[in-house]
Structure 1
Amino acid sequence: MSYDKHILIYNRYLILIMIVDQFDYNLPPERIAKRPARPRDSSKLMHISEHSIKDKYFYQLPEMLKKNDVLVFNNTRVLPARIFGEVSKRKIELLIHRQEEDYIWQVLARPSKILRDNDIVNFPDSSYAQVIGRTKHNFPILKFFTGNKSFKHFLDLNGQVPIPPYLNRKYDNEDIVDYQTVFASEDGSVAAPTAGLHFTERIIQKIKDMGIIIEFVTLHIGIGTFKNITEKDIINHKMHEEYISITEDVAKRLNNAKSNGSRIVAVGTTALRTLESSSLDGGVILPSSKFTDLFVMPGYKFKIVDLLLTNFHLPRSSLMVLISAFAGIEIIKKSYQYAIDNNYRFYSYGDACLIERKK
């Protein structure tokens, strides 16, 4: 394992800077899942610990949990955030990704160069939007005029769920259901918390019947989820801010469970980042309603999460760095190669893994 030779302080802990190449791997294109397993809980599930890799199926997850475990889900709901319109009689595609105020959103535009300040974008239902400014990253800010329709109704009429670009296919009606968790309730994401996609009502009920506690937090996933790390030294990577929320009641119950020795199982990297972003060094979770840009990398000291349920992630991504910090880079490299060699399916619609935190 190669490291840069210089040292820095990160989150008050001393670490060696690591180059992004260490979080790369080669994935045969046929390993990218274009559709989810059917039923959802029939996907493969790899159990990863420091000393072993075990093959399971997702419907066996309840057997891998303990009675006093706490599962923490991200209850965000994916918006039909990709909308199509016209500006000066030219077609344009918009991706709304962060709300500023009611009816005012930051967007990505394609093609980007045709959208100028004060331009009007017209939509098929006679609604329109106007460019009223730009962010510090030069993202256009649009105010939407939807007549007597709510913004949610406007999106339902005009929008599509923004499936990941690496699926390399067109969106269709199956994605409306497939790219949404069965427990989604809080509107706000442009991508799904994909670890949650494997859960069915049946397996959730089975987990509850075992006496295992289920809690919900919120992280609205933004455009940064598709962004690879382009910096050579990962410390220079800048995360996009994403909104998180933990209610006072949920924080209290999680703190009680943690103090009683329960294992906290984060369902997805977004649930993990929400919990870790809302915790004190002593392991106390605080109620939260804020934005986070937490970048978890090797050297980070986990305060809350004991196990992580997650999918297989893109190379050179912040999520690949996160799971390497959680489990150890060598076991992640070994498990990913094992997954490739044993026909696991990768990315959003792919298989899952249950990872035990490195001691």
Structure 2
Amino acid sequence: MSDPKKLAIKDFVYDLPEERIAKFPLPVRDQSKLLLYRQGQFIDHTFTELPTLLPPDTLLVFNDTKVVQARLLMQKETGGLVEIFCLEPVAPHREVQLAMQQTGSCTWKCLVGNNKRWKGGLVHLYFEGGVLQAEREAQQEGHFLIHFTWRQAELTFAEVLERCGRLPLPPYLNRDLTPEDHTRYQTIYASQQGAVAAPTAGLHFTDRVMDALKAQGIDTAYLTLHVGAGTFKPVKSETMEAHEMHAEQVYISRSILERLLKQQGNPVIPVGTTSMRSLESIYWLGAKVLAQPELTQQELHVSQWQAYESINQPTAAQALEALLHYLDRQGTDHLHANTQIIIAPGYTFRMCHGLVTNFHQPESTLLLLVSALIGEDWRKVYQHALAHDYRFLSYGDSSLLLP
């Protein structure tokens, strides 16, 4: 087994020409290409064929997070613009679901553009029926704490963002927002507001594909991981040991834990890397509460290297049962936790048996995840995609990886 801490990111490079990055979505979501990788073989398909390509009795797991309009173009008293990009809530709630329902005021960790020109004081953003004000509270490493206030007491922060924010497109698209992006940069099943980037593997699904899954006897389940801006964070260190993985909030319901327990012995296939990270985090959270039953929900956290250092490694069924018992003790039907899990070559999968995913950037942690699943064949997959005119990244084509 390779030591993931010693992995050199330069070993996960491929040449991605600019023209292969899909800058805009296809006219119809499910008409994207789908590359099937199964036991070392490659076959080209269209995404509408996915339901017939999945193994029998598969449980397909989706991330139902919804991208919020997290970019705010605010005005100084002098008229100059300051761009504020909301990353994650700090007060009065750190939990995204609660923070989105906050009224009147809140504090978020944010990135700030044109910060040097913002000497202090309030900045404003006027929207229909109100005004949003922002004030810097503190500067921390790489970001700021921004305190927001709005006078319309009946509006939640989610509603404020909906009225005056802008959708945060991935930086590599390098273009302005279009009206089409408001629908196409969301999955059709997005329901839980809080992400600042879309779980893009899900962008290919349509009602037609969902109906075909049902007709094929493929069961589906949903969890929530709010995708953070860290998903685009480049790996700048030579080895992974020096790269700090971004933390993201994951929400797990009793129903999905019960469904996963029932699924043991049959394939579980996540739609996208965020769903895969969530599912594997569920296992490690279960291992944690099995070893430390008295942990509070605030202490539920999967650290970056836990999977490679943990001595306590129960079966998947034991981990799921431990979480269900934990919910009973806590008197709740939902778990909220943070995960920094890094899935890289050397990782042993506990919950997942394949992956539906797009094609990722060179030198990214997402490429490490793909390599963990299919080994060095990731190079052949990407070479095939490049040679057969597949479109890459968020609005690009898809793959079904079955090791």
TM-score, reference length from structure 1:
0.91
Q: Does 1:49 align with 2:38?
A: yes
- For residues 112-191 of structure 1, what are the structure 2 equivalents within 5 Å? 112-115=115-118, 119-125=121-127, 126-135=131-140, 137-148=141-152, 149-191=155-197
**2:68 equivalent in structure 1:** 79
Identify, as 1 or 2, the structure richer in helix.
2
Match of 1:109 in 2: 112
Counterpart pick for 2:380 among 323, 334, 340: 334
Q: Is the 8 A contact 1:49 1:327 kept in 2?
A: no
The aligned counterpart of 1:4 is: none
Give how far 1:26 is off. 0.7
CA distance in 2 between partners of 1:42 and 1:226 (Å): 26
Distance 1:275 1:324 in 2: 17
Gap runs ≥5 in structure 2:
94-101, 288-312, 325-334
Q: Deviations over 1:177-222 (max 9, x none)?
A: 0100000000000000000000001111211222221100111011
Match of residue 271, structure 1, among 271, 275, 279: 275
**In the alignment, structure 1 residue 318 sits paired with structure 2 residue 369:** no
Residue-pair matches, total:
341
For residues 324 and 247 of structure 1, what CA distance do their matches in structure 2 show? 29
Structure 2 distance, partners of 1:110, 1:58, is: 38
Question: Equivalent residues in 2 for 1:273-292 (5 A)?
Answer: 273-279=277-283, 280=287, 281=313, 282-283=315-316, 284-285=319-320, 286=323, 288-292=335-339
Distance 1:291 1:16 in 2: 21
Residues 232-288 of structure 1 deviation map (CA, whole Å, 9 limit, x = unaligned): 012221111100011112111111111xx2100100000000011110431133363
Q: CA deviation at 1:38?
A: 2.5
SS at match of 1:321: helix
Matches within 5 A, 1:1-80: 17-80=6-69
Q: Mark the runs of 5 or more structure 1 residues left unpaired by the alignment.
A: 1-9
Aligned to 1:92: 82
Question: For 2:337 and 2:193, how far apart are their aligned partners in 1?
Answer: 16
**CA RMSD in angstroms, aligned pairs only:** 1.7
Q: Distance in 2 between matches of 1:267 and 1:33?
A: 20
Of residues 213-222 and 145-154 in structure 1, the stretch that sits farther from structure 2 once superposed is 145-154
Question: Could you say what secondary structure the match of 2:203 adopts?
Answer: helix
CA distance in 2, matches of 1:22, 1:337: 15
Distance in 1 of aligned mates of 2:132 and 2:4: 52
Q: Compute the displacement of 1:88 (Å).
A: 4.5
Q: In the alignment, is residue 230 of structure 1 matched against residue 249 of structure 2?
A: no
The secondary structure found in structure 2 opposite 1:113 is helix
| One-letter amino acid matched to 1:99 | P
Q: SS state of the match for residue 181, structure 2?
A: helix
Tell me if structure 2 keeps the 8 A contact 1:98–1:107.
yes
Match of 1:249 in 2: 255
